[in-house]
Chains A and B, each alone.
Chain A
Amino acid sequence: QVQLQESGPGLVKPSGTLSLTCAVSGGSISSSNWWSWVRQPPGKGLEWIGEIYHSGSTNYNPSLKSRVTISVDKSKNQFSLKLSSVTAADTAVYYCARDWDSSSRYGMDVWGQGTTVTVSS
């Protein structure tokens, strides 16, 4: 079955760029699914960051849109998140997830284990 694995630096300096990758295994990123990023600050709830389709189409959270880029690399079967100009408020566990339907309206059925990113000098 499809599995997702996040990777990237666990520590990012303030004003820097957070870069994470989500590797897809057991399936193709070119399947009829949207691929999402969700984050969770320590002790808080979930925040949707954005999503991408294998065609490159994206939807972003307006609260982050000016700082976020989500991209897909079909040759490596993975997708990525870049968040620029980070502050301590961006410290969170970052999850990648799969929307199980092509409409992205039926929820996210496969999740990575999550990776903790701390913004600190």
Chain B
Amino acid sequence: DAKTTQPNSMESNEEEPVHLPCNHSTISGTDYIHWYRQLPSQGPEYVIHGLTSNVNNRMASLAIAEDRKSSTLILHRATLRDAAVYYCILSGGTSYGKLTFGQGTILTVHP
């Protein structure tokens, strides 16, 4: 699987937008970009995924660069509950859903 690079940590204030970057310069044409997050003492939970176009859901937005070599997860208004480790993961179409987790970005949200 292609590798992703994320900052080790980021900080934000409550109710402000958060932009979490991810670089994936070796992405292949069939790789989907997935974002999961892991709250303290819990299993990871799905946030959003996309292939080429920007995506929005109730939790977040995913902005994908035109060359697909980077993407940004956008939390529009951070809350204290958004403090978590955020993982950016690439997965090909024939991988049977197997995901390779890196170390992710630790997001701290200040009141």
Q: Do A and B bind each other?
A: no
Q: Which residues of A contact B (CB under 8 A)?
A: none
Q: Which residues of B contact A (CB under 8 A)?
A: none
